[in-house]
């Protein structure tokens, strides 16, 4: 059984218990607070969720908050099969957990497509948000260039990036523990930066914090950034820190980097 397949029972448990929903709701609050100096989210806004995902939590929460929300993701393309049906059931459960009417999950604002070539008019959005998706985009400069086009002048970006350099950044340990608190038997911390014994199962650009910050700064004014979630400090022994000396302690233990940026003009 692949390590990620073995996570599914725990995944269902997290959904049932509402652990994940609580994190999503927290993210809404953080974003409102982070953007408050530049964008008042108590007013209805045109918002783009890039890489909205199959469960589409932030898309649904923002719609329920009165915003006009569009999502773009490969997974929005029409399809059938057991996985689609399973996600449909999980979304209904998730809506309950998030305290949302199931209509908030309706797909009418969702576009199936590549975030590097978006089918939207120039200057259409006040805000682009993204959660745990930028690390999967294989052409980040193309995504940022297209975001530059579809945002209005002064439009904002709020992006949460799951950093590759964090213990869970290889996406090869567990996607249900966030932050990561335990390692599977036999797994070594930061295996993906060391011997790479455990395979990656999803596309990853393997970008580091400074690469993201530099790429954002090329296209936008980076107003602020911070580490929203730390993990793995307990595994970073002096010996391991020496072995991983190409990386800073900050990037080895930051699971989520939040970047807040603005389109100039």
Ligand X SMILES: C[S@@+](CC[C@H](N)C(=O)[O-])C[C@H]1O[C@@H](n2cnc3c(N)ncnc32)[C@H](O)[C@@H]1O
Residues that bind ligand X (CB under 6 A): 51-53, 55, 57, 73-75, 114-116, 131-133, 136-137
- CA–centroid distance for 61 within its chain: 15
Closer by beta carbon to ligand X, 48 or else 55: 55
CB 148 → ligand X: shortest distance, Å?
16
Closer by beta carbon to ligand X, 55 or else 156: 55
Q: Among all chains, which residue has been given the structure tokens 């391991």? A: 240
Task: Report yes or no: 162 and 196 within 8 Å, Cβ to Cβ.
Answer: no
CB atoms within 10 A of CB 190: 22
Closer by beta carbon to ligand X, 132 or else 187: 132
- Give the pairing type, strands 221-230 and 151-162: unpaired
DSSP code of 179?
S
- Give the pairing type, strands 68-73 and 221-230: unpaired
Closer by beta carbon to ligand X, 179 or else 240: 179
Closer by beta carbon to ligand X, 47 or else 115: 115
CB 119 → ligand X: shortest distance, Å?
12
Residue 252, H or E segment: helix 249-253
Closer by beta carbon to ligand X, 142 or else 213: 142
CB 164 → ligand X: shortest distance, Å?
13
d(CA 214, CA 159): 14
d(CA 213, CA 164): 14
CB 185 → ligand X: shortest distance, Å?
25
Buried b (16+ CB within 10 A) or exposed e, 74-112: ebbeeeeeeeeeebeebbeebbebbebeeebbeeebbbe
CB 242 → ligand X: shortest distance, Å?
32
Strands in 63-117 per DSSP E = 68-73, 110-112
In sequence order, what DSSP letters do the residues of 132-147 get, joined into one string? S-GGG-S-HHHHHHHH
CB 238 → ligand X: shortest distance, Å?
33
Closer by beta carbon to ligand X, 173 or else 244: 173
CB 201 → ligand X: shortest distance, Å?
12
Closest chain position to ligand X (CB): 53
């Amino acid at each position: 059984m692949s390590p990620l397949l073995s996570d599914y029972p725990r995944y269902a448990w997290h959904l049932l218990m509402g652990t994940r929903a609580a994190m999503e709701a927290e993210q809404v609050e953080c974003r409102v607070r982070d953007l408050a100096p530049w964008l008042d989210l108590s007013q209805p806004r045109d918002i783009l969720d890039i890489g909205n995902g199959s469960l589409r939590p932030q898309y649904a929460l923002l719609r329920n908050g009165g915003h006009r929300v569009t999502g773009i993701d490969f997974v929005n393309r029409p399809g059938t099969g057991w996985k689609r049906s399973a996600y449909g059931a999980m979304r209904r459960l998730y809506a309950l957990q998030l305290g949302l009417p199931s209509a908030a999950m309706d797909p009418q604002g969702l576009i199936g497509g590549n975030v590097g070539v978006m089918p939207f008019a120039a200057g259409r959005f006040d805000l682009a948000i993204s959660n745990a998706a930028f690390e999967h985009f294989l052409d980040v400069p193309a995504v940022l260039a297209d975001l530059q086009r579809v945002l209005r002048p002064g439009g904002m970006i709020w992006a949460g990036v799951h950093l590759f350099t964090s213990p869970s950044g290889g996406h090869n340990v567990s996607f249900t523990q966030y932050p990561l608190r335990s390692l599977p038997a036999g797994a070594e911390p930061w295996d993906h930066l060391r011997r790479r014994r455990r395979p990656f199962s999803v596309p990853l650009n393997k970008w580091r914090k400074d690469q993201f910050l530099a790429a954002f700064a090329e296209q936008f004014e980076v107003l602020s950034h911070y580490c929203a979630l730390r993990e793995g400090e307990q595994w970073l022994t002096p010996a391991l820190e020496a072995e991983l000396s190409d990386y800073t302690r900050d990037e080895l233990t930051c699971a989520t980097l939040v970047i807040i940026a603005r389109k100039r003009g």
